[in-house]
Structure 1
Amino acid sequence: MASIMGFLMYSWVLLPLLTANEVPRPCVLPFTYSHKAYSSCTADGIQNKRLWCATTGNYDRNREWKYCALTEYGGNSGGQPCVFPFAYKDQTFYSCTNKDAQIGRFWCATTGSYDKDKKWSYCADK
């Protein structure tokens, strides 16, 4: 009985605290919704007309989604906009990249050189 109570305590009290800082899953583009392919966020099928995207390749099958971020966010530069081109590991990037990203999230430098300044944001969902 004690182990059941412990499990309930963990799942009801501690689990939300542990997952509160999770980074939202990125849009998967293209994705399928109502048997149609979308290569960017859409307001189709939603009453409030906010842009959304699937977080898997097939919304029809998985029903996983999120509202789209319209501007850069997170990172260590307070959501500053991307600067293109930018340098990272002696490479030049002309668009957002997921190179070396922990969970595949696309990011960008917010100065001309991540190598020099180490400033970045997650990219807005396109």
Structure 2
Amino acid sequence: MAPRLGIFLILAGTCIFLQLDHVDGDKQPITTTLSATMKPDYKCAFPFNYRGKWYFDCTRADSFFKWCSLNEDYSGKWKYCVDDDYAKCVFPFVYRGQTYNRCTTDGSLFWISWCSVTTSYDRDGAWRYC
């Protein structure tokens, strides 16, 4: 039993250590020229379109770790997300036709405060906990 567990732990650790992202790019792009739609200082471009889907926050799409595009339309320039990269609350926002100027528990199954990360939750459905 112990040898099997040891082998499993070694294999599991190796798989995590060697986790390869399916997103093309480097952690920090080396290029010094920015395209017209790329955010300066390597900031996330929210929302961004990746493979036909719009993302309003960092995503794990095709990756083990959360990442974001540096362009509105993903073109291979990306980075791993850090705390400062995650989408921020946008006030005021519209939810079910009503305007909110602060976080709300309306519509929350567990009464946890949340907010929209765009001006209209009704249109975009993008949100986060406060």
State the structure with bigger RCO (CA 8 A, min sep 6), 1 or 2: 1
How high is the TM-score relative to the length of structure 2?
Answer: 0.41
TM-score (norm 1): 0.42
